[in-house]
Homo-oligomer: A and B are copies of this chain.
């Protein structure tokens, strides 16, 4: 495992805005605040969602969309730079009224309500292309 000891920097609690994209507003916040390295955890509810699944053979993301209301239980992710811009790598577990779940790499979801904790680190994490996985990963 490659790892880097980091110093904790700023910490935030946030309330996601009703009616706006879950991930998009995290990225907007991160750009406004100049956050180049962070992890976050959150919970809430969304009114639709598009999840991505990385095909490990074809090295491509497949997309699946759900036009349903879900609890966000939870969202876990991180913020780092991708092509110079703040990218919020976000995984989400979504649940329905009967408790049944779908989960995946969160692309888009319209926020109904959301609460977030963001832990920034005093470093810059910038994603670079990784040959074996064809993903953009941190060169730690």
Residues of A that sit less than 8 Å from B by CB: 1-8, 10-20, 25-26, 28-29, 37, 39, 41-43, 45, 47, 51, 53-57, 62, 64, 66, 69, 71-74, 76-78, 89, 91-105, 112-113, 115-119, 121, 123, 125, 130, 132-133, 135, 137-138, 140
Evaluate contact between B6 and A97: CB separation under 8 angstroms.
no
Report the bound CA distance from A102 to B101 in whole Å: 6
Q: Which one of A1, A115, A117 has the greatest number of beta carbons of chain B within 10 Å?
A: A1
How many copies of this chain are found per oligomer?
Answer: 3
Contact of A99 among B11, B29, B51 (CB under 8 A): B51
Q: A73 and B11: CB pair below 8 A?
A: no
